[in-house]
Structure 1
Amino acid sequence: MLDNDLKTQLKAYLEKVVHPIELVASLDSGDAAQEMLALLQDIQSLSERISLRLNGDDARKPSFAINRIGTDVGVRFAGIPMGHEFTSLVLALLQVGGHPPKVEQEVIDQVRHLEGEYVFETFMSLSCHSCPDTVQALNLMSVLNPNIKHVAIDGALFQDEVEQRQVMAVPTVFLNGEPFDQGRMSIEQIAARLDSGAVQRAADKIKTKAAFDVLVVGGGPAGAAAAIYAARKGIRTGMAAERFGGQVLDTMSIENFISVPYTEGPKLVTALEQHVHEYDVDIMNLQRAEQLIPAAEPGGLIEVKLANGASLKAKSVVLSTGARWRNINVPGEHDYRNKGVTYCPHCDGPLFKGKRVAVIGGGNSGVEAAIDLAGIVGHVTLLEFDGKLRADEVLQRKLRSLHNVSVIVRAQTTEVLGDGQKVTGLTYTDRSSGASHRVELEGVFVQIGLLPNTEWLKGTVKLSPHGEIEVDARGETSVHGVFAAGDVTTVPYKQIVIAMGEGAKASLSAFDYLIRLPVEEKEEAIAA
């Protein structure tokens, strides 16, 4: 099952196993079960601390558990965790085997002290780059707390259960048999959901923080660059982020990040986070900004109010809150979100195997999505509002070569249709003739660009007609001491490499602003 190179790497990792562990397989007679058995036999052969038992009685077959012998510590996989989930498998082996996780001790203690019984089920797909974070978080929680159980289920392998439980997006998590949440989740996010006092404790902790020299709001590439450049100046730097990594976490392949021919969003975010941690940056994750209050006078303190009720103050602020997927804003879109309406073809495509889907949008992202989906689904209908596709010609040539893709231009999507539980079709208007048409399908993938996260800034900083923060050549906004960078600004070409450069520039501009404050204003700001 595993090639020699992978075996060599895995063997080195398994040397870190401290406690003996047992692999318990529940198999049937299918081909997938034979593949799973081969994988488990390979793993067992690589470490004397690992044993294999084949008489598991789990109802889901094929599946296997990883148990710490003599304890009730363990995790379960219903499926063959290869692809993006291979890392989840390796971490599960190590953590069940007693290797310490790379998680803050405060989070570990929080999970260990959770009371109650929690049985989690995560439906994932092996091509989903968002799923491993959720799977790994819940696996670790089940290792840390014996009251928590978790099974990761490959939706492509258990299609009947996917249909029965109406799973149309991954990762989808059930808790004690009821829907819990969908989408990428960190261990901090899940623990906060289960721990009723977590939000208040975080707010109380933030309230005690002194004013920062530079406060970065947002944790994407622009925010990470801004924080690093500020901290390198030796000034007090804080970062408040709703989700460290931002939109990059949802990016599958990155092939235009200069000097790195290929990487993936989650890998880049891990590298960014590690780099930021190299410096003295006070990172406050899972914090959503809700209001910006400018300084009463130049040189005074700027205040950022957070959703949890706490506030942060700083002498200068760099806004880097990024952007999110733009909605088509038609009836049915919200009602059937994650019930057939989705925004990630890489994550959710396998759930629509053999079915009919639509892609809304004819730019690069839309055409790339249609190409990817064509290899999985039965048929793709691509709808573009304009009179022609806007994607690069090389992508259009590839799209035209596919037999199961239809392209409709001058199409204005007017409604997403469903039966109350799932998508059944959509309607669109032909912008040339005005005629209305209906397309029968099971999935709608929206790929029409990004929307800046600036609703909380309206009436405070100057925004463009598109809602972007207007900045000058130095990254400065219309508010004294407030700078901005990345996809949230009017700077054209929303690219990771550009966001990083703009983040660095905004941070350097903030530093330049600080050192040019008159001495009396500096003293007043410190006293405040």
Structure 2
Amino acid sequence: MLDATLKGQLQAYLTKLVHPIELVASLDDSDASRELQSLLAEIAELSNLITLVEKRDDDERKPSFSINRKGGDMSLRFAAIPLGHEFTSLVLALLQAGGHPPKVDQEVIDQIKALDADFHFEVFMSLSCHNCPDVVQALNLMAVLNPRVSAVTIDGALFQKEVEERQIMAVPMIFLNGQHFGQGRMTIEEILPKLDTKVAEREAEKVSARAPFDVLVVGGGPAGTAAAIYAARKGIRTGLVAERFGGQVMDTLGIENFISVKETEGPKLVAALEEHVKAYDIDVMNLQRVEKLVPAAESGDGYIHLTLASGAKLKSRSVILSTGARWREINVPGEREYRNHGVAYCPHCDGPLFKGKNVAVIGGGNSGVEAAIDLAGVVGHVTLIEFDKQLRADAVLQRKLHSLPNVKVITHAQTKDIVGDGKKVNGLNYIDRASGDLNHVDLEGVFIQIGLVPNTEWLKGSSMALTKYGEIDIDARCETSIAGVFAAGDVTTVPYKQIIIAMGEGSKAAISAFDYLIRHSAPEAAAAA
């Protein structure tokens, strides 16, 4: 199953094993079990510290396998054939179970070991989901470090019956002790506070203890990281606070228009951005959501004040807002009611859950057409619905779309509502804008791809000037209506929401902020004068 190159790489990794480990495979006579047995046998052959045991009469999901240190007390299982995006999760689980130290802060390790309750996690994923590995790897590490934590990773495409019984229509989907725990990408730093509230309290205290910054960037996407790097290069005290480092790019799979890089993926680009940020003296405060901004003119001490959702407070001489945007909703009946129950926004993550089924894509721009093309290779049939009289996607994408036999395109159509049986989606109604006729499409999934909405709700009601669309109004220098506050990227009025444009705008905002700082004295210096 593994080619020679991959085998060589894996064998090199497995030399880092410290303790012998055991793979216990639960198998039946299915093709999937034979495929899993073949994979595990190949892995076992690569190291004399790995033993493979096969079972057929146990009560575990089949096919599946557990990983345990010999003589250890771990409960870590893959009900999957972990290739694709999850191959890295498999390698890390092997290494960590074998005693190789994880690349996480000691503080996080101590927090995991201190958990004093029984936590049984199940995470449903798909092998094409680029958000799932973060969750899988976090839960696996917890299972390795704490015997009271168990983790089972389940491939939704492999266990379709269970997916249908448990009404799982989005991944990653996490259950804790049989109850829904969360869905979507989550890191270990996000999971731990949900299990131990003292973790969040301690982090808030640490954040509040920070000294005032010269430049504080809000947002960790392309605009925010570019701004932070450009500011740090000026030698000024720079901080970056982000709800999720990488932002919307983490949910973007194929990137083919980032100049000088022919092709990459969102998570890979985010990893590169993170490495670049780490090369500079930038104080990164990840997993922190800003809820309030007080201008320097109103704060009483000459600094701009930011209050976080955790209760922490930060001060800075200047601020760059780069909070980005998120998927826009169509705001029709049924959309929110059936979210994660047939209504989805990420075709790469959730597409495999609809294998062989009929789905719709709403939106005829690049995102919508790309989603329809991707889904056509997985699902039974795709109906693409576009409000305008014609598709707006690039010509090369339209040609590819029209070449696919299992895709139907409906233009000049207004989605009226998404309908279901109370548990999951079973159809969609739309109005033919030319005739006014109401039409119905039977389907089991709806993927919404109609653009982005800026993340500025927290600024509404403040003195910040926003457009009717919620974008931050900026000038050519990225200046906002508040002195010392700049903005960049998709959250602003800058046209064309593209990664490369956001980076340029972030860089420009940092230079503008530096120019502002050299023209305005620090509050302490101004008070002394």
Using the size of structure 2 for normalisation, the TM-score is 0.97
1:497: which partner in 2? Answer: 500
How far apart, CA to CA, are the structure 2 residues paired with 1:127 and 1:253? Answer: 12
1:388 matches 2:390: yes
How far apart, CA to CA, are the structure 2 residues paired with 1:98 and 1:280? Answer: 32
How far apart, CA to CA, are the structure 2 residues paired with 1:105 and 1:238? Answer: 23
1:346: which partner in 2? Answer: 348
Unaligned runs of 5+ in 2: none
How far apart, CA to CA, are the structure 1 residues paired with 2:256 and 2:483? Answer: 37
Q: Equivalent residue of 2:248, what SS? A: helix
How far apart, CA to CA, are the structure 2 residues paired with 1:302 and 1:164? Answer: 52
How far apart, CA to CA, are the structure 1 residues paired with 2:413 and 2:527? Answer: 56
1:83 corresponds to which letter in structure 2?
G
1:295 CA displacement = 0.7
Could you list the per-position Cα deviations for residues 38-77 of structure 1 after superposition, in whole angstroms to 9, with x for gaps in the alignment?
Answer: 1111111111111111126352001111111111124211
How far apart, CA to CA, are the structure 1 residues paired with 2:90 and 2:333? Answer: 41
2:221: which partner in 1? Answer: 220
2:513 to 490, 500, 510: 510
Q: Equivalent residue of 1:480, what SS? A: coil
1:426: which partner in 2? Answer: 428
1:302 to 298, 304, 312: 304
1:201: which partner in 2? Answer: 202
> CA distance change for structure 1 residues 68 and 432 in 2, over 3 Å: closer, same or farther?
same
Using the size of structure 1 for normalisation, the TM-score is 0.97
1:414 to 416, 419, 425: 416
Taking the TM superposition and a 5 Å limit, the aligned residue runs for 1:391-470 are 391-458=393-460, 459-470=462-473
> CA distance change for structure 1 residues 185 and 526 in 2, over 3 Å: closer, same or farther?
farther
2:259: which partner in 1? Answer: 258
How far apart, CA to CA, are the structure 2 residues paired with 1:487 and 1:277? Answer: 23
CA contact (8 A) 1:323 1:453 kept: yes
1:323: which partner in 2? Answer: 325
2:38 corresponds to which letter in structure 1?
A
> CA distance change for structure 1 residues 526 and 303 in 2, over 3 Å: closer, same or farther?
farther
1:400 CA displacement = 1.2
> CA distance change for structure 1 residues 497 and 522 in 2, over 3 Å: closer, same or farther?
farther
1:500 corresponds to which letter in structure 2?
M
Q: Equivalent residue of 2:122, what SS? A: strand
1:297 CA displacement = 7.0
How far apart, CA to CA, are the structure 2 residues paired with 1:289 and 1:297? Answer: 18
Taking the TM superposition and a 5 Å limit, the aligned residue runs for 1:32-431 are 32-55=32-55, 57-296=58-297, 300-431=302-433
1:53 corresponds to which letter in structure 2?
V
1:25 matches 2:25: yes
CA contact (8 A) 2:489 2:506 kept: yes
How far apart, CA to CA, are the structure 1 residues paired with 2:327 and 2:527? Answer: 39
How far apart, CA to CA, are the structure 2 residues paired with 1:354 and 1:309? Answer: 47
CA contact (8 A) 2:75 2:149 kept: no
1:476 to 476, 479, 488: 479
1:446 corresponds to which letter in structure 2?
I
1:220 CA displacement = 0.7
How far apart, CA to CA, are the structure 2 residues paired with 1:386 and 1:301? Answer: 48
1:526 CA displacement = 9.4
Q: Equivalent residue of 1:494, what SS? A: coil
The 10-residue stretch of structure 1 (170-179 or 106-115) with the greater mean CA deviation from structure 2? 106-115
Q: Equivalent residue of 1:296, what SS? A: helix
CA contact (8 A) 1:292 1:460 kept: no
> CA distance change for structure 1 residues 307 and 525 in 2, over 3 Å: closer, same or farther?
farther
Could you list the per-position Cα deviations for residues 297-316 of structure 1 after superposition, in whole angstroms to 9, with x for gaps in the alignment?
Answer: 79921011111122111000
1:96 corresponds to which letter in structure 2?
A
How far apart, CA to CA, are the structure 1 residues paired with 2:463 and 2:112? Answer: 39
How far apart, CA to CA, are the structure 2 residues paired with 1:139 and 1:170? Answer: 17
CA contact (8 A) 1:214 1:510 kept: yes
CA contact (8 A) 1:293 1:460 kept: no
How far apart, CA to CA, are the structure 1 residues paired with 2:251 and 2:511? Answer: 28
Structure 1 runs (4+) greater than 4 angstroms displaced: none
The 10-residue stretch of structure 1 (7-16 or 190-199) with the greater mean CA deviation from structure 2? 190-199
The 10-residue stretch of structure 1 (46-55 or 183-192) with the greater mean CA deviation from structure 2? 46-55
How far apart, CA to CA, are the structure 2 residues paired with 1:340 and 1:329? Answer: 15
How far apart, CA to CA, are the structure 2 residues paired with 1:41 and 1:59? Answer: 19
2:153 corresponds to which letter in structure 1?
A
1:177 CA displacement = 1.0
CA contact (8 A) 1:315 1:525 kept: no
1:224 corresponds to which letter in structure 2?
T
CA contact (8 A) 2:170 2:344 kept: yes
1:525 CA displacement = 7.1
CA contact (8 A) 2:471 2:491 kept: yes
The 10-residue stretch of structure 1 (286-295 or 105-114) with the greater mean CA deviation from structure 2? 105-114
> CA distance change for structure 1 residues 12 and 58 in 2, over 3 Å: closer, same or farther?
farther
After superposition, the CA RMSD in angstroms is 1.6
1:301 corresponds to which letter in structure 2?
Y
CA contact (8 A) 1:300 1:525 kept: no
2:463 corresponds to which letter in structure 1?
T
Aligned length: 526
CA contact (8 A) 2:26 2:64 kept: yes
> CA distance change for structure 1 residues 40 and 526 in 2, over 3 Å: closer, same or farther?
farther
